[in-house]
Amino acid sequence: MNESHDVPDTNETPELLEAHWGREQVVQLFQDLSEGATVEHVQVRTASDGRAADQSVTLLEAKAIFEKGDARAIQIRYGFDGQNWCDTLMVKPDEVHIIRTRV
């Protein structure tokens, strides 16, 4: 007897979006997430004395670290409109490279 089962395709590539934003757009992203998303986890990488340090923070704390200029990278996992997303922000001196993945 042959049975057919729906098995998720584990080789399926997740949706991936990339952009380069200015600082004002990133500040607006923080605002949009605070107003319309369910933030699950925020991780910030800072660099002091030449060493990278990662810490879990709130969205508001991440925004403050970003605005102060101390963030090197920020990862935000959140739910929005029934979907789960992960935004990784790589902070450069003149722009922020954002990689958004649907998880």
- pTM reported for the whole predicted model: 0.84
| 20-65: pLDDT as tens digits | 999 999 999 999 999 999 999 999 999 877 788 999 999 999 999 9
The predicted structure's pLDDT at residue 8:
53
Give me the mean pLDDT over the 86-99 stretch: 96
Residue 3 has pLDDT above 60, yes or no: no
Q: Could you report the per-residue pLDDT of 4-32, keeping only the tens digit for each?
A: 455 555 567 778 999 999 999 999 999 99
Distances (CA, A) of 25 to 6, 12, 45, 49, 54: 41, 31, 20, 29, 23
Residues in the chain: 103
> Between the CA of residue 66 and those of 27, 57, 58, 62, 79, what are the distances in Å?
8, 12, 12, 6, 22
Residue 73 pLDDT: 98
Can you give the residue ranges of every domain in the chain?
23-102
